[in-house]
A and B are shown apart, each in its own frame.
Chain A
């Protein structure tokens, strides 16, 4: 019984969603539209659950002064700052995303620089990794290296100035071998996803309720 109820729900929901794809008009389409709104609401609620879990774990860490508790404190303070400024923006301007909202100040002057900095650091590590790891060890590695260099040269103005054919070669690599390989991978992965979905709908794949 404990397994039968979720399996039945999965079967009915799965079959129903497939049917609505082929019969999108009323009444199936109308019911589908309601389920989509429910889905959005459930995702919204799951965010609240996520925040609760995040707060609980970090508050416990601070209370017990476990290793790295100061980072948890920074996280909780940042969360509170975002929450308070967001509510202030909602109350005063109707949305936290209003340009005058205090949340937008926090976003522009704290979140954006922090995120950008974290990501910008990657370029330095990529350059260092390219120097150490991009080696002509075998045929496959050599082909990868050559195509990477050709695409890099073809995608920047200086490459065009060195040789006008670099952009043409780069475009060919992107449109022919790259697309061919990607299409093969995608067909394989989507067939796998379809097979897994059918197994879940039919109750053959049960790991999600175990």
Chain B
């Protein structure tokens, strides 16, 4: 009787209704978010490097941002671009915005316009939105010689030469860094063409899933910094002392990681007990 009950319990655990798992995940994500719990984070070396590099750019220097992500990765990458833009504007570093993903450009535009307004920056003088051009690899290579060859006008059709900020900016040599905010393979293109061929200094901000792909480039010093996932954004927000969505997301992420680990342990315990029982019978 006890054995039967135990077997039934194990079977039930093995075939647990997935809606129970969904409910657990929903609770551990939503409760910390609703309570707005925040957790401090330790700064990782790769994010510290990115911060130190931006910090070393003198006022008047320029950083190009490439928006290579869309709404699917918005929760992870939007906080990154916001804090990187804030850091640049805090230091009076000029900003150029472009993107290799058409559907992501509006997110970049929203981030740029809201941050520029916050710091009282003027379009054409402190920042420029170059817009989108198709053909990512070709665009990246062509900008190595002359940005105007591929972006003769900005996103609203204003000639580049009519924008005061662009007077001395022609190619990667005139930029202090390129910050590639991406959820796909475009950082590979930037590394292969802009960094390896033209020596551009790259900072990559990507999803937590995508970040492991870029550690080798960081070790080879082909990147000057790397931000991975919401954790990367939270660390950068800590460094510039501007808490935002990244830090707010750390608490739900902590709890959801713990919940998944607990589920994995539970799944394995039931698996091993079932295996043992089957072996015994």
Which residues from chain A sit less than 8 Å from chain B, CB to CB?
A: 21, 24, 29, 32-33, 36-37, 39-40, 42-44, 47, 93-95, 97-99, 103-104, 107-108, 111-116, 118-119, 123-124, 126-128, 130-132, 134-136, 145, 149, 152-153, 155-160, 167, 171, 174-175, 178-179, 182-183, 186
Interface locus among B55-63, B81-89, B104-112, B161-169: B104-112
Determine if A124 and B25 form an interchain contact, defined as CB atoms under 8 angstroms apart.
yes
Determine if B155 and A97 form an interchain contact, defined as CB atoms under 8 angstroms apart.
yes
Determine if B267 and A130 form an interchain contact, defined as CB atoms under 8 angstroms apart.
yes
Closest residue on chain A to residue B219 by CB atoms? A179
Please name all residues of chain A whose beta carbon is closer than 8 Å to the beta carbon of B254 when the two chains form the complex.
156-159
Can you list, as one digit per residue, whether each of B5-39 has a CB less than 8 Å from chain A (1) or not (0)? 00000000000101001101110010000000001
Please name all residues of chain A whose beta carbon is closer than 8 Å to the beta carbon of B16 when the two chains form the complex.
131
Give the distance in Å from the alpha carbon of A1 to the alpha carbon of B270 in the complex. 67
Interface residues of A, dominant DSSP = helix
Determine if B263 and A127 form an interchain contact, defined as CB atoms under 8 angstroms apart.
yes
CB distance from A197 to the nearest CB of B (A): 13
Give the distance in Å from the alpha carbon of A161 to the alpha carbon of B230 in the complex. 18
B113 within 8 A of partner (CB):
yes
Determine if A29 and B145 form an interchain contact, defined as CB atoms under 8 angstroms apart.
yes
CB distance from B240 to the nearest CB of A (A): 18
CB distance from A148 to the nearest CB of B (A): 8
Please name all residues of chain A whose beta carbon is closer than 8 Å to the beta carbon of B155 when the two chains form the complex.
94-95, 97
Give the distance in Å from the alpha carbon of A126 to the alpha carbon of B209 in the complex. 13
Please name all residues of chain B whose beta carbon is closer than 8 Å to the beta carbon of A157 when the two chains form the complex.
39-41, 250-251, 254
Please name all residues of chain A whose beta carbon is closer than 8 Å to the beta carbon of B133 when the two chains form the complex.
40, 44
Please name all residues of chain B whose beta carbon is closer than 8 Å to the beta carbon of A94 when the two chains form the complex.
155-157
Give the distance in Å from the alpha carbon of A97 to the alpha carbon of B112 in the complex. 12
Closest residue on chain B to residue A145 by CB atoms? B264
Determine if B260 and A127 form an interchain contact, defined as CB atoms under 8 angstroms apart.
yes
Determine if A179 and B215 form an interchain contact, defined as CB atoms under 8 angstroms apart.
yes
Closest residue on chain A to residue B15 by CB atoms? A132
Determine if A43 and B25 form an interchain contact, defined as CB atoms under 8 angstroms apart.
no
Please name all residues of chain A whose beta carbon is closer than 8 Å to the beta carbon of B137 when the two chains form the complex.
39
Which bracket fits the contact residues of B? 35 or more
Give the distance in Å from the alpha carbon of A29 to the alpha carbon of B142 in the complex. 10
Closest residue on chain B to residue A39 by CB atoms? B138
Q: Which of A43, A111, A158 contacts B103 (CB 8 A)?
A: A111
Determine if B109 and A47 form an interchain contact, defined as CB atoms under 8 angstroms apart.
no
User: Which residues 258-281 of B have a CB within 8 angstroms of A?
Assistant: 258-261, 263-264, 266-268, 271-272
Determine if A36 and B141 form an interchain contact, defined as CB atoms under 8 angstroms apart.
yes
Assuming A44-B135, A47-B134, A136-B272, is B257 touching A159 (CB within 8 A)?
yes
Q: Which of A108, A115, A130 contacts B70 (CB 8 A)?
A: A115
Please name all residues of chain B whose beta carbon is closer than 8 Å to the beta carbon of A124 when the two chains form the complex.
21-22, 25-26
CB distance from A88 to the nearest CB of B (A): 15
Give the distance in Å from the alpha carbon of A108 to the alpha carbon of B157 in the complex. 23
Assuming A134-B264, A145-B264, A179-B216, is B39 touching A97 (CB within 8 A)?
no
- A37-B142, A111-B71, A171-B44 known; 20 new pairs, CB 8 Å cut-off, are A21-B197, A29-B145, A37-B138, A40-B135, A40-B139, A40-B142, A97-B105, A97-B109, A116-B72, A124-B22, A130-B267, A131-B16, A131-B21, A152-B261, A155-B257, A156-B231, A156-B254, A156-B257, A157-B250, A174-B212
Q: Which 4 A-B pairs have the closest CB atoms?
A: A157-B39, A94-B156, A115-B71, A158-B254
Closest residue on chain A to residue B106 by CB atoms? A107
